[in-house]
Amino acid sequence: MRENASSTVESPSVLYRDGKITFEGIWTASARMRKCLDAAGKMAALPMDLLILGETGTGKNLIAAAIHNASPRAEGPFVEVNTGAIPQTLAEDALFGHEPEAFTEARTKRRGCFEQAHGGTLFLDEIGNMTADVQAKILTAVERKRIRRLGGENEVQCDVRLVCATKCDVRKAIAAGAFRDDLYYRIAGHEIRVPPLRERREDIPLLAERFIALDNVNYGRSVERASEACMAAMLDHPWPGNVRELRRRIGSAVALCEGAELLPAHVFPETASESDAAAGGEKQGLSLAAAERNHMEKVLALTGWNISEAARLLDITRQTLRTKISAYGLRRPTT
């Protein structure tokens, strides 16, 4: 069964295993993110509903698709619905479909997302934006494995695995009555918390390097790296839009860059004016990650890049040192 792929709410996008969104395609150099992905990978194999929590742009959609593709339902459909974008009056219709003549505009039968996802995974993004009533209906449908189309008399069998995601604080949303506690308790035992990029800064050099490579192809450029100053600025930036923001900034930086190195002004054009640069300059290099990178650079220079000696001085294992060297994009100077 192959559904029509489209970005409209009426026909939610349906991704298949050939879409190749797998855990290997979610890049990370962070031990914390690796733990989160490993846990998600384990849960993927089990028949439980899941809740993915994380700020905007942290990779919740990617993880949901990877869970589906790593699950025993991988051959079935993956139906993704941005429930936050559906007007509440249309939510039931979008989720459960309708029979002909169910309401004035309904001329033909329509299958809702639940039916489309039968045998596969239904990914409900921004679940916190649905009314409590619709959330309750979602819960009933998942528990009974049956739905009734609007205007329908008979129930239709509908076996879906539910993966929900939200960037809101669920506990606060429950307290405010915006999130049903019964739905939460069905999925809450299996929460996947995706850390924001500012709490896994080791990912910045890795993701930047890979996005540069992708955008060199996209824009016909030959950028080799981010300059030291640019990397320091990226390690310091708070990244409120997380990986999506990094992806977007690197994209326009590579498109703008004509040389081999990305400069701070390419990635942060808004701080490129002289006065802003001066003000920003004072605040650069203050993050823990930037300090760690600088310190490692000093120790490596001091030991002539003798890994064993540097690891001993830093009081970490050689393996950890190698991982950090690669994560921070440190390079042995050529003599």
Binding site for ligand ATP (CB under 6 A): 26-28, 54, 56-62, 125, 167, 243-244, 247
Q: Which of Mg ion, ligand ATP, none interacts with 27 (beta carbon under 5 to 8 A by kind)? A: ligand ATP
State in angstroms the smallest separation of the CB of 326 from ligand ATP.
16
Contact stretch for Mg ion (CB under 5 A) within 14-22, 118-126, 283-291, 322-330 = 118-126
State in angstroms the smallest separation of the CB of 212 from Mg ion.
24
The closest of 286, 251, 243 to 267, measured between CA atoms, is: 251
Q: Is 220 left (phi over 0), alpha (psi -120 to 50) or beta?
A: left
Ranked by CB distance to Mg ion, the top (closest) residue is: 61
Q: Does 61 bind Mg ion (CB under 5 A)?
A: yes
State in angstroms the smallest separation of the CB of 242 from ligand ATP.
7
How far is residue 191's CA from residue 180's CA, in Å, rounded to a whole number? 16
All residues at 6 or more sequence positions from 273 whose CB lies less than 8 Å from its CB, including other chains: none
Q: Which of ligand ATP, Mg ion, none interacts with 312 (beta carbon under 5 to 8 A by kind)? A: none
Exposure string for 206-241, b = 16+ CB within 10 A, e = fewer: bbbbebbeebeeeeebebebbbebbbbbbbbbebeb
HEC profile for 88-136?
HHHHHHHHHEECCCCCCCCCCCEECHHHHCCCCEEEEECHHHCCHHHHH
State in angstroms the smallest separation of the CB of 105 from ligand ATP.
29
Q: Which of Mg ion, ligand ATP, none interacts with 62 (beta carbon under 5 to 8 A by kind)? A: ligand ATP
Footprint of Mg ion on 119-178 (CB under 5 A)? 125
Please identify which residue in the block is written with the tokens 């016909």.
220
Q: Which residue lies nearer to ligand ATP by CB, 96 or 239?
A: 239
How far is residue 158's CA from residue 294's CA, in Å, rounded to a whole number? 56
How far is residue 255's CA from residue 260's CA, in Å, rounded to a whole number? 12
Contact stretch for Mg ion (CB under 5 A) within 24-32, 34-42, 52-60, 72-80 = 52-60
Q: Which residue lies nearer to ligand ATP by CB, 57 or 97?
A: 57
Which runs of consecutive H residues, i.e. helices, occur in the chain? 31-44, 60-69, 88-96, 113-116, 132-144, 170-175, 181-187, 203-219, 228-236, 242-256, 264-267, 274-283, 288-302, 307-314, 318-327
Q: Which residue lies nearer to ligand ATP by CB, 152 or 251?
A: 251
Ranked by CB distance to ligand ATP, the top (closest) residue is: 59
State in angstroms the smallest separation of the CB of 241 from ligand ATP.
8
Please identify which residue in the block is written with the tokens 């869970």.
67
State in angstroms the smallest separation of the CB of 307 from Mg ion.
40
Across-strand partners of 97? 111
Q: Which residue lies nearer to Mg ion by CB, 59 or 77?
A: 59
Q: Which of ligand ATP, Mg ion, none interacts with 129 (beta carbon under 5 to 8 A by kind)? A: none
How far is residue 167's CA from residue 77's CA, in Å, rounded to a whole number? 24
Q: Interface mask (CB under 5 A) for Mg ion, residues 78-117, using x and -? A: ----------------------------------------
State in angstroms the smallest separation of the CB of 281 from Mg ion.
35
How far is residue 205's CA from residue 231's CA, in Å, rounded to a whole number? 7
Q: Which of Mg ion, ligand ATP, none interacts with 225 (beta carbon under 5 to 8 A by kind)? A: none
Measured from the Cβ of residue 111, the count of other Cβ atoms closer than 10 Å reads 17
Q: Count residues contacting Mg ion (CB under 5 A)?
A: 3
Q: Which of Mg ion, ligand ATP, none interacts with 244 (beta carbon under 5 to 8 A by kind)? A: ligand ATP
User: Which residue type does 65 have?
Assistant: A
Q: Which residues lie near Mg ion (CB under 5 A)? A: 60-61, 125
